[in-house]
Structure 1
Amino acid sequence: MHFTRPRELLIAGLLGLVGGFLLFEFAYDSIPRLPRPAGATLGVLAIIEVVLAFGVRSRIRAGRVHSAIAIARAVALAKASSLLGALMTGFWVGSIGFLAPNADRLTAASRDLTSALIGAVCAVVLIGAALWLEHCCRAPEPRDSDRPTGATD
């Protein structure tokens, strides 16, 4: 498995953007009102991943990694979360693209716009947390045993 590439996030975001906009454009009248916690759940996941990242980072730096499988699972979680965050960022931005112009004439659109903004912010935070977790799972760079600590070139 490779670490997340920017183009993967971009593609997921574009798919979410198109899907979200089209869903709101053609089915907004049949969609129930957007609850505020809908997007906030991504923020909760982001907090969990940040806590996990600091734990993994400290264990790797201290050399207390007892299971490489646990680190591999954390990398898989980070990759899946960053892709989910990108997909949902695109979805929420697509919904904002529909809701913002219609907020003046539709009362439901103005109420749903706040939920969509919360969702978009939480999705971006999830991307950042997932990429941080992925970064923390990297093995530390090997140190040069020929040079004394603090020596410079």
Structure 2
Amino acid sequence: MHFTRPRELVLAGLIGLVLGFGLFELFYGELPRFPLLAGLPLLILAVIEVILGVTLRSRIRAGRVLDAIGIARAVALAKASSLLGSLMLGAWLGALAYLVPRGGELAAAADDTPGAAVGALCAAVLIGAALWLEHCCRAPEPRDPDHRGYPTG
């Protein structure tokens, strides 16, 4: 497995953007109103991943033995979360691209815009947290002065 590449995130975001805008174009009149905190589950996942990243990073830098399967699972979680965050960011941006121009003429669109903006923000935070977790799972360079578990030089 390789670490997440920017082009993968951009592609997922573009797919989400096209699907989000298209679905809003087709079905907006049938959708219920967005709650303001619709993106909250993404933010909760982001917080969990930041905590996991800080914990793993401190253990790796301290030279404590870690389970390789656990690290691989954390990397898989980070990769999946960054792709989910990119897809959802695109979808929320697609929703905003539909809602913002119609906010002046449709009261429902004006009411749904803040929820879509919060969703986009939460998705962006998830991308950052997932990439941070992935970074924390990398093996340190042998010459890293902050790492005490490997010999330097």
TM-score by length of 2: 0.92
Structure 1 gap ranges (5+): 148-153
| CA distance in 1: counterparts of 2:111 and 2:104, whole angstroms | 11
Aligned to 1:19: 19
Report which of the two structures shows the higher radius of gyration computed on alpha carbons: 1
Whether the aligned pair in 1 keeps the contact of 2:142 and 2:152 (CA below 8 Å) is no
Q: CA deviation at 1:146?
A: 8.0
Matched ranges for 1:82-121 at <5 A = 82-121=82-121
Q: Structure 1: how far apart are the matches of 2:61 and 2:40?
A: 32
Aligned to 2:53: 53
Q: Percent identity?
A: 65
Q: C-alpha separation between the residues in 1 aligned to 2:93 and 2:117?
A: 8
Q: Where does residue 33 of structure 1 map in the other structure?
A: 33
2: CA distance, partners of 1:52 / 1:74: 8
Report the equivalent of 1:150.
none
User: What is the Cα-based RMSD across aligned positions, in Å?
Assistant: 1.4
Post-superposition Cα deviations, 1:107-128, rounded to whole Å, max 9, x if no partner, equal: 1111110000000001001000
Deviation string for 1:23-74 (max 9, x for gaps)?
1011100111112222121111111110110000001111113311111100
* Structure 2 runs not aligned, ≥5 long: 145-150
Deviations 1:119-141 (A, max 9, x none): 00010010000000000000011
1:80 equivalent in alignment to 2:80:
yes
